[in-house]
Amino acid sequence: MKFGVIIFPGSNCDEDMIYVLSHTLQQNVVKLWHKSQDLQNCDCIVLPGGFSYGDYLRSGAIARFSPIMQEVIQFAQRGGYVFGICNGFQILTEAGLLPGVLLHNQQRKFICKNVYIKAVHNKSVFSQKFHLNQAYKVPIAHSEGNYYAPAHVLEEMQANGQILFQYCNANAEVTQEANPNGSLLNIAGICNKQGNVFGMMPHPERAASNILRNTDGLTFFESILQIAYA
């Protein structure tokens, strides 16, 4: 598969993502500068984590108007696969490609730690290799990861199976204590109605190498690679 990792001014997880995709998974990866308007025929576009435009105004709000994002929006509307991690998730919500918004963490702290997530179902491209009722350890590192959407939007998302990952404890139980940031329904990752755009706050690219002693995040990438065999 050919992946395009978009680099905004202030992106800082781009190299980690590129390393996992190209080195660990042996995929074709190109870097896409935010001022470019050419997606270079990629099969999947990746918005990495970081602090695009210094998180000024709101996280992701300014990056959303970068020239390349107009191409990404059209690509997604044509059914192209797009996923965003952390700041990438924030940009996708600001761009209107994913519902809802990521508010400041309830306790107003930057949280950097390992958390557990579980797949709500594995019928999505982005969760298909996950075992149900299993907790996966993946780190988070954010100030604005508190997922919010109005009640009627949440209901629609639930009905459409758009909630893909929830924060849970080590026993894969979705509890209040396991919610690190105040997200509604412990939401850690969601997709759009069509199922081709996905965003999550945890960083699977930071948990996908033996040298880091945690490869739980690989399951996410293994899910996406199934696209190539579909």
Partner 1 sequence: MKFIAEIDIMPLKELLDPQGKAIKLGLQNLGITQVEEVRMGKHISLTLEAETEAEARQKVETACKKLLANLIVEDFSYTIASV
**Interacting stretch for partner 1, rule CB under 8 A, among 76-84, 103-111, 184-192, 200-208?**
103-111
In the bound complex, what is the minimum distance in angstroms from residue 65's beta carbon to partner 1?
A: 7
Instruction: Identify whether the C-beta of residue 225 lies closer than 8 Å to the C-beta of residue 25.
Output: yes
Count of residues in contact with partner 1, rule CB under 8 A: 17
Per the DSSP assignment, residues forming a β-bridge with 199 are 84, 190
148 lies in the site for partner 1, by CB under 8 A = yes
180 lies in the site for partner 1, by CB under 8 A = no
Q: In this structure, what are the phi and psi dihedrals at residue 177, rounded to the nearest 5 degrees?
A: -65, -25
Residue choice 65, 110, 114, 175 for contact with partner 1 (CB under 8 A):
65
Taking the C-alpha atoms of residue 102 and residue 94, their distance in angstroms, rounded to an integer, is: 9
Q: Which amino acid is at 106?
A: Q
145 lies in the site for partner 1, by CB under 8 A = no
Q: 226 is written with which tokens?
A: 């199934």
Query: Residue 39, SS3?
Result: coil
Helices H / strands E in the chain, number of each: 5, 11
37 lies in the site for partner 1, by CB under 8 A = no
34 is catalytic: no
- Binding region for partner 1 (CB under 8 A): 57-58, 61-62, 65, 94, 100-101, 103-108, 148-150
Catalytic residue list: 86, 203, 205
